Amino acid sequence: MLSPVDQRDGRVRLAGEIWSARTDSPTTRFDVGDEVLVVRVDGATAVVTAVTTTTES
């Protein structure tokens, strides 16, 4: 995360390049340093969501 990302705007580094980004939810916001998952690319904008981890027993 290079700048905060919300439903309208932000910047992320993807494959070594800087991309425009937005969240996939209108109520979600990510801050610089947060790790996100790209769920799709909409034109030249990466649409991101929270990274979730699962634990196996």
What integer pLDDT is reported at residue 28 of this predicted model?
A: 94
**For residue range 1-34, what is the model confidence (pLDDT) as tens digits?**
899 999 999 999 999 999 999 999 999 999 999 9
What integer pLDDT is reported at residue 57 of this predicted model?
A: 57
Supply the Cα-derived Rg of the chain in whole angstroms: 11
* Residue 1 vs residues 19, 39, 48, 52: alpha-carbon distances, Å: 10, 15, 11, 16
